[in-house]
Chains A and B, each alone.
Chain A
Amino acid sequence: MAADRSRRNFLKGMIALGALLVVGGVAKPLLDYAVVSAGEVTTFPRVKVANISQLKTNQPIIFNYPLTNEPNYLVMLPEPAEYGIGPQKNIVAFSAICEHYGCIYHFVPSLAPYGGPDAPGGYCPCHGSLYDYLEDAKVVGGPAPCPVPRVDLEFDNSTGDIYAVGMEPPTIFNHGPPCGSDVMDDLQGGSVA
């Protein structure tokens, strides 16, 4: 009887081992299949966004950059802005994704009706975050933990073309840790614009 029992235990062990092998063998490929590894993109593309002739004061143009699902506002402000480009130093571009919870915020000609300064900028309808576009999207109201990132722009004096060439920190919402400093995270999770 004793021998019988040890044989039974051995067989049970083999079944358990077999089950473990199957589960273990399947689990790894399954995870690798479902989880997408980080992309290979390591440099910011240089993309023509618009020509200065298309821009009208306080009327933003929406463009995706650096990835196809990362909208930004390109806007000509009524007065020179910090880091502004163009002949009047009044053209800026910022990510359109609020740094608080990731809503698409609105561009408004004046933040005053929402409790901010009388300056053009971003107003988020979700929780009322305010970004002052004249001062590099500084947070001037609401719960946002940091400014929305600025898009590095280049202006071609001869043609009037405006190019997006990179992103400034902090990182775009949903890329890396909130308000992260490594702009390479902006290139993860999508395909390049």
Chain B
Amino acid sequence: MSGLSERIRKLTEGGNRMLRPIPNFSFRPDYWMGALLVLGFVLQGITGFLLLLYYVPTPDQAWASTNYIVTSVPYGSLLYTFHLYDAYAIILLAFLHMFRNFFVGSYKKPREGMWFYGVILGLITLGFGFTGYLLPWTVISKSATDVGIGMLNYFPAQLTAGIKSILVGSGTDAAELTRFFAIHVMLLPMLLALFLLIKLYTFEVHGVAPPVGQAEGSVAESTPWIPDGILYVLMLGLFYTGGLLLISSLFPATLPPAYSVQSAMTVTPEPDWYFLWIYQILKLSIFGGPNVVYALTLVTLLFVLLFLVPVIDIRGGRAPSERPVVFTLGMIVATSLVFLTIWAYLTPGQTIPFYQAVLYIGIIALSEGIAAYLGLRRRRSGRGGAARAHPSIAMAVLAASIAGASASLMLLEKGYLISIFLIAGFVFSSMSSLSKIGEGRK
């Protein structure tokens, strides 16, 4: 017996010599969103393989084989639902992961690379969503995908002919499905693995970003991976997987009807929820007709801007008070994303008057800008005691308020005033608690 425990002790020691200990400050779920994303993708790989055992990627078989999985294969419905919901969870987590790292400023030197690879991985994730949406060949997914591809036509042909040809091949339904399938199950997983490897390597080089206000490389108390670190990550991972399994069992997804021209005549094609904010921009009245090219250019520019964040925001530290403009702009973008998504969900197929969008986004921007300014100003005037709110709690409040306030803005229709107070109040209170972070360093 003693020989066995001695062996285990030796093994754990060896493991702990290889694995860098975990700083104690990072035992908090928001530090592990990237890890959960990796787990999410591993689960997609496993469930994806299982779906491939029955799925047939041809126009006359795609829907029928998916339907067979859902209705006839034991646990097929759970598998189909889990693959779908895990995809949703990944996309949601990816957005949260991005905004979290934006708000804590961990893209700053020396971790600019992490941000760049992260944005690329985010685009790959959206690519998974776009290509996977088509595969069940449902009336909504096929129609919406064709609309998406059709938009490429508004760009100059020289720019898009190659992309279009790679995406849809000869242009027949069969070619389109075959290529989306190949991209979804082969090309994107390879690209994902490649950039994940690069990102993980970069992470190992720089280590985890210390909390805002703590100097880079300052000695933090830490805990070895074995056993505490492993147990913690295992707990998070099991919570994620178990939660998804539970939700998938309780709320099984239903497969929409099969695609045919006849059935397409009766539906309004819509993108899945994660593309609704883009859809809403495209529906603005000023982007009608051939002007859609300007909307698409705008969205492309947004992604370019997103990629360049570490290059644009180079001066100052990571605390919100040290980069108030960039921080506030980030909040406005986050709120607008949530807001446009909910708005698009409520107005399927309706053209949106441009002035209305300007008004709504203007209200959000103005109230958040003023509230953030006032909140962050409190620091300079020296009022208020030490920071009581833990930064992560402040972040959670911020996120919840952003989502809630913008939802209410929509749902209350005429409740502009209430929304302004909601947004401004939450932003003010969280910003004034955040404004104290970083003071200790001075």
Contact = CB atoms under 8 A, between A and B. Distances in A.
Interface in A12-70: 31, 34-36, 39, 62, 64, 67-69
B246 interface: no
B261 A104 contact: yes
B168 interface: yes
Contacts of A67: 171-172
B147 A35 contact: no
A140 interface: no
Contacts of B261: 62, 64, 71, 96, 104
A31 B161 CA distance: 12
B146 A174 contact: yes
A171 B269 CA distance: 22
A126 B349 contact: yes
Interface of A: 31, 34-36, 39, 62, 64, 67-69, 71, 96, 100-107, 125-128, 142-145, 173-174, 176-179, 188-191
Question: In this complex, which of B165, B171, B269 has the most chain A Cβ atoms within 10 angstroms of its Cβ?
Answer: B171
B153 A178 contact: yes
A188 B165 CA distance: 11
B253 interface: no
A143 B168 contact: no
Contacts of B166: 34-35
Interface residues of B, number: 36
Contact of A189 (B143, B154, B170, B264): B170
B172 A191 contact: yes
A174 B170 contact: no
B149 interface: yes
A24 to B, nearest CB: 17
Given A101-B150, A178-B154, A126 B269 contact: yes
Question: In this complex, which of B149, B166, B265 has the most chain A Cβ atoms within 10 angstroms of its Cβ?
Answer: B265
B151 to A, nearest CB: 7
A157 to B, nearest CB: 30
A96 B146 CA distance: 14
Contact of A174 (B149, B269, B351): B149
Q: Which 9 A-B pairs have the closest CB atoms?
A: A189-B171, A143-B288, A102-B150, A104-B264, A145-B289, A125-B268, A35-B165, A71-B261, A190-B171
28 contacts: A35-B165, A36-B175, A39-B170, A64-B261, A67-B171, A69-B172, A102-B146, A103-B143, A104-B265, A105-B265, A125-B268, A125-B349, A126-B349, A127-B283, A127-B349, A127-B350, A127-B351, A128-B349, A142-B351, A143-B351, A173-B150, A173-B153, A176-B153, A177-B153, A178-B290, A189-B168, A189-B170, A190-B171
Contacts of B290: 145, 178-179
A107 B262 CA distance: 11
Interface of B: 143, 146-147, 149-151, 153-154, 157, 162, 165-166, 168-173, 175, 261-262, 264-269, 282-283, 288-290, 292, 349-351
A50 to B, nearest CB: 16
Given A173-B153, A189-B170, A103 B269 contact: yes
A36 B169 contact: yes
B167 to A, nearest CB: 10
A42 B220 CA distance: 73
B330 to A, nearest CB: 31
A102 B292 CA distance: 13
Contacts of B157: 176-177
A165 to B, nearest CB: 21
B265 A106 contact: yes
Contacts of A103: 143, 147, 264, 268-269
Contact of B289 (A36, A105, A144, A190): A144
Contacts of A39: 170
Nearest to B149: A174
B220 to A, nearest CB: 43
A177 B156 CA distance: 8
Given A126-B147, A145-B290, A190-B171, 12 more contacts: A35-B166, A62-B261, A69-B173, A96-B261, A101-B147, A104-B264, A128-B349, A173-B153, A174-B153, A177-B157, A178-B290, A189-B168
Contacts of A107: 265
Contacts of A101: 147, 150-151, 282, 292
Given A101-B151, A104-B264, A127-B283, A36 B172 contact: no
A36 B174 CA distance: 14
A92 B289 CA distance: 25
A106 B265 CA distance: 5
Given A102-B150, A173-B150, A177-B157, A190 B172 contact: yes
Question: In this complex, which of A35, A103, A179 has the most chain B Cβ atoms within 10 angstroms of its Cβ?
Answer: A103
B143 A191 contact: no
Contacts of B147: 101-103, 126
A127 B166 CA distance: 28
A163 B180 CA distance: 35
Contact of B267 (A125, A174, A188, A191): A125
Nearest to B169: A36
A144 B288 CA distance: 8
B281 to A, nearest CB: 13
Nearest to B151: A101
A128 B351 contact: yes
A190 B288 contact: no
B289 A143 contact: yes
B356 to A, nearest CB: 16
